[in-house]
């Protein structure tokens, strides 16, 4: 993908201040209602835009280039029908929809319908599903809707998703939902960078810790040594050094690079959704970001979570939830007693936030909370702890505020010796042979557990009721009913310093497809050997997450995998074809954490 999508580069404006970059412009968005970029003169005339909602059976979508200004600099972006994000597509369960997608870029493009069940040739992944949409051509997608709920769409071509090619999908159900609401709003979260996304990827390959500006200091070491002794402090620093990571490295890219958006609106622009006091309002949260986990809360309001990844669950009342990249959560709120509430979505690294307002009329706002303290990771968080994990594997030690003692009692390092596990069907907990001596792997988790009842790093014991995976229970029983006939275990692997990511130490280009027999019921067990959190998405098939006892728990299309976790889910191979299977952190996928899944007769 070229650095400017129309072949013209804008005049660079003055570097924006840190606050301007994080919070964005009050009027940031697609420039001046134009679908094409004809000159850099729009720097002072950028307008916020709200994605239109398109309904019906036939849709014409145009992928194009446009200038945007979220931070004080006019930059190139990719739009759908002239907006960023693209229009909300509203469909109805049971209908057959046709979408004619015209590519007006200079590069091949594509659209993938995330979480939607459809034929493989409609899935929109170049090289697997089809050849992509060449410049100047149109591709017709056509498929029947076999589900309802909140989903989204995005490009699967290079870094176009990061540049703006994404949008929300709402599929209305044939039968009334098992809950009542009076109005609804789509809440599409995303991350924007003024950098050319390809240049950002190159920077990550050269300096993967570029955004990690909160590294521990000599003063932190002195405090740790005083608190727990010099030997323990030295041991802790040595462990992190051997893993080529610092305990402040929660996310690869943060608000030093990103401006976080809600429905295409920067925090300063204050996207507003209306309500009447006493109404039940359904909020469809969709994490359409490239690399950002968000922790979402609405101070003053309880949120009742009623659906996960488009599928109904037993309602859960919470104050806050973490939404992984590509996940969706539907929540119901009942605002009353005040005229405005802040929708606050801070990034997992506590460097910035997306923000909007629920209000009785336009122009109102409520106080915006301060970000929570940044946390210090421990060896226990990484799956290297020697501490008691409790009955479900949730660390009992809190991730600590910055400046406090963060040393762990655990044991770190790599252990490649003596393992001879052939192929991918290697179960039993050992590491695969392909990890032995692998230069693309810098650590292996020694104590992986499900941790389904762990709210997550930075969310433990924060005084709020936080959603946990253990809270997610589908309203229906296992739709298949059969016990899995086999188990495939895959390890999520990587090397922080090299910014290399993979399954079982094998990059996409070096790995054989994972082959499933049509109609079989099988189990996939994922083990996260890395020090990062990964949202894993299997195209074309549902992922039915199991609890610690191996019982069906919840149906999802994206499974979050925190560091050091082992989680299993059942898959029914009921869709023939070639499917993508990957980490949904965009730059991790591009760096190699992707496999092909083939469902064959």
pLDDT tens sequence across 227-265:
666 665 456 555 545 555 555 557 899 999 999 999 999
Which pLDDT does position 591 carry in this prediction? 97
Furthest-apart CA atoms within the chain: distance in Å: 68
230-242 vs 218-228: helix axis angle to the nearest 10? 130
Count the neighbouring beta carbons within 10 Å of the beta carbon of residue 179. Answer: 14
Q: What is the pLDDT of residue 453?
A: 97
76 strand-pairing partners: 67
Query: What pLDDT, on the 0 to 100 scale, is given for residue 45?
Result: 31
Distance in angstroms (rounded) separating the CA atoms of residues 595 and 601:
20
For 282, the token pair is 């359904």
Phi/psi region, residue 189 (left: phi>0; alpha: psi -120 to 50; beta: rest), is beta
Neighbours of 20 (CB within 10 A): 18
Sheet holding 534-538, edge to edge: 514-517, 594-600, 577-583, 534-538, 558-561
- Angle, vertex CA 496, rays to CA 392 and CA 538, nearest 5: 60
Mean per-residue pLDDT of the chain: 85
Is residue 210's pLDDT more than 90?
Answer: no
Tokens of 356: 């909007």
| Structure tokens given for 561 | 């995998």
For the domain with range 18-176, which CATH number is right: 3.30.70.2190, 3.40.190.10, 3.30.1490.20, 2.60.40.420?
2.60.40.420
Task: Return the closest-CA partner of residue 328 out of 166, 465, 458.
Answer: 166
Measured distance CA(496)–CA(505) in Å, rounded: 13
Give the C-alpha separation, 517 to 160, whole Å.
Answer: 33
CA distances (Å), origin 299, targets 192, 241, 338, 455: 25, 39, 12, 18
The span from the CA of 483 to the CA of 490, in Å, is 20
115: left (phi > 0), else alpha (psi -120 to 50), else beta? left
Note the CATH number of domain 181-212+248-372. Answer: 2.60.40.420
Mean pLDDT score, 90-118:
98
Cite the residue boundaries of each domain of the chain with CATH code 2.60.40.420: 18-176, 181-212+248-372, 476-600
Token pair 């229906």: residue: 476
Greater confidence (215 vs 506) lies with: 506
- The mean pLDDT of 477-504, rounded to a whole number, is 96
Is a pLDDT exceeding 60 seen at residue 88? yes
340 SS3 class: strand
pTM of the model: 0.86
Q: Which of 337-351, 382-396, 519-533, 576-590 has the lowest mean pLDDT?
A: 382-396
What are the tokens at 569? 């889910």
Between 240-254, 461-475, 532-546, the lowest mean confidence (pLDDT) is in 240-254
Let me know if domain 476-600 sits in CATH 2.60.40.420: yes
Structure tokens at 50: 């709200």
Contacts of residue 290, Cβ cutoff 8 Å, sequence gap at least 6 = 159, 161, 162, 190, 191, 197, 325, 585, 586, 587
Residue found under tokens 């959603």: 467
Report residue 193 CA to chain centroid gap.
16
Please give the Cα distance from 132 to 124 (Å, whole number): 7
pLDDT bucket at 23, cuts 50 / 70 / 90 = confident
Task: Please list the residues that pair with 521 across neighbouring strands.
Answer: 572
Return left, alpha or beta for 198; rule: phi > 0 is left, psi -120 to 50 is alpha, else beta. alpha
Q: 73 pLDDT band (50/70/90 cuts)? A: very high
């Amino acid at each position: 993908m070229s650095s400017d999508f129309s072949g013209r580069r804008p005049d660079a404006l003055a570097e924006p201040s840190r606050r301007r970059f994080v919070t964005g412009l009050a009027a940031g968005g697609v420039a001046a209602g134009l679908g094409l970029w004809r000159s850099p003169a729009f720097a002072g005339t950028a307008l916020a835009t709200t994605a239109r909602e398109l309904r019906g059976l036939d849709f014409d979508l145009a992928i194009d280039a446009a200038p945007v200004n979220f931070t004080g600099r006019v930059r190139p972006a990719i739009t759908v029908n002239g907006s960023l994000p693209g229009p909300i597509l509203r469909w109805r369960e049971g209908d057959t929809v046709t979408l004619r997608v015209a590519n007006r870029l200079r590069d091949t493009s594509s659209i993938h319908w995330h979480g939607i069940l459809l034929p493989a040739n409609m899935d929109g992944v170049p090289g697997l599903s089809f050849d992509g949409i060449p410049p100047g051509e149109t591709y017709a997608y056509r498929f029947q809707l076999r589900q309802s709920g909140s989903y989204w769409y995005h490009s699967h071509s290079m870094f176009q998703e990061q540049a703006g090619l994404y949008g929300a999908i709402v599929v209305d159900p044939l039968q009334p939902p098992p809950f009542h609401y009076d109005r609804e709003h789509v809440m599409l979260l995303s991350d924007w960078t003024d950098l050319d996304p390809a240049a950002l990827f190159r920077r990550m390959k050269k300096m993967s810790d570029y955004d990690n500006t909160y590294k521990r200091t000599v003063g932190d070491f002195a405090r740790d040594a005083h608190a727990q002794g010099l030997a323990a402090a030295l041991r802790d620093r040595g462990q992190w050094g051997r893993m080529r990571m610092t305990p402040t490295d929660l996310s690869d890219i943060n608000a030093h690079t990103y401006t976080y958006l809600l429905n295409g609106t920067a925090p300063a622009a204050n996207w507003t959704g209306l309500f009447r006091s006493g109404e039940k309002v359904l909020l469809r949260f969709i994490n359409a970001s490239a690399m950002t986990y968000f922790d979402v809360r609405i101070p003053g309001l309880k949120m009742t979570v009623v659906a996960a990844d488009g599928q109904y669950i037993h309602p859960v009342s919470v104050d806050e939830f973490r939404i992984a990249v590509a996940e969706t959560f539907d929540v119901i709120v009942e605002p009353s007693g005040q005229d405005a509430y802040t929708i606050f979505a801070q990034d997992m690294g506590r460097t910035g936030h997306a923000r909007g307002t629920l209000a009785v009329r336009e122009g109102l706002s409520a106080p915006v909370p301060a970000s929570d303290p940044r946390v210090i990771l421990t060896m226990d968080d990484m799956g290297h702890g020697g501490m008691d994990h409790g009955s479900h594997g949730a660390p009992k030690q809190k991730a600590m505020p910055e400046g406090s003692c963060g040393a762990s009692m655990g044991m770190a390092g790599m252990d490649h010796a003596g393992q001879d596990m052939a192929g991918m069907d290697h179960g039993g907990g050992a590491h695969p042979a392909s990890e032995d001596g692998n230069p693309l792997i810098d650590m292996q988790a020694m104590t992986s557990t499900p941790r389904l009842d762990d709210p997550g790093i930075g969310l433990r014991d924060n005084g709020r009721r936080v959603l946990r995976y253990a809270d997610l229970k589908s309203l229906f029983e296992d739709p298949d009913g059969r016990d899995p006939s086999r188990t495939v275990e895959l390890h999520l692997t990587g090397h922080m310093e090299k910014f290399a990511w993979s399954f079982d130490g094998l990059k996409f280009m070096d790995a054989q497809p994972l082959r499933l027999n049509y109609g079989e019921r099988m189990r996939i067990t994922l083990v996260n050997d890395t020090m990062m959190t990964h949202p894993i998405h299997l195209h074309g098939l549902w992922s039915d997450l199991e609890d610690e006892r191996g019982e069906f728990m919840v149906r999802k299309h994206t499974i979050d995998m925190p560091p050091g976790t082992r989680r299993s889910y059942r898959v029914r191979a009921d869709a023939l074809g070639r499917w993508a299977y990957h980490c949904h952190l965009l730059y991790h996928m591009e760096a190699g954490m992707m496999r092909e899944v083939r469902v064959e007769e």
